[in-house]
């Protein structure tokens, strides 16, 4: 089982890219947030971004929904930044802004190693 966890870490290292987390600030939700014009605290992080979504990805998120991408983020990368994810956070990938539609822990070999995040482009 430990080998499975190590393999997942190696895969993320191999295919990861730098993305930006736009961190939601408590008490700052308003119409600007919905329109994508609110100013955020930004953090760069390594993550795997998958644009071709498979049935397995949909099953892992637990429901069939409209998604533009799936993002995989490791807990150790979040811990290094000292942040936690919230469902109101946004992501910027290659200059495109995304909002979270589904946020789930990613369990490998019985351990919580990160998050699987279904995202939709902010229009």
- Print the domain residue range for 33: 2-121
Around Cβ 106, how many Cβ atoms within 10 Å? 18
Domain count, the chain: 1
Give the span between the Cα atoms of 54 and 10, in whole angstroms: 21
Whether the per-residue pLDDT at 24 is higher than 70: the answer is yes
Average pLDDT over residues 70-97: 91
Here the CATH number for the domain that contains residue 35 is: 2.40.10
pLDDT tens, residue by residue, 49-77:
988 888 888 777 877 677 889 999 999 99
The model's pTM is 0.78
């Amino acid at each position: 089982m430990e080998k499975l966890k190590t393999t997942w870490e190696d895969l993320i290292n191999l295919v990861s890219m730098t993305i930006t987390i736009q961190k939601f600030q408590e008490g700052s939700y308003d119409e600007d947030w919905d329109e994508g014009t609110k100013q955020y605290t930004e953090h760069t992080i390594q993550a795997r971004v998958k644009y071709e979504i498979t049935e397995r990805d949909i099953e892992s998120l637990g429901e069939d929904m409209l998604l533009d991408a799936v993002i995989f983020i490791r807990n150790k990368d979040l811990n290094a930044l000292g942040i936690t994810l919230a469902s109101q956070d946004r992501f910027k990938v290659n200059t495109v802004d995304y909002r979270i539609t589904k946020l789930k822990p990613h369990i490998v070999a019985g351990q919580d190693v990160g998050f699987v995040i279904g995202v939709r482009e902010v229009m």
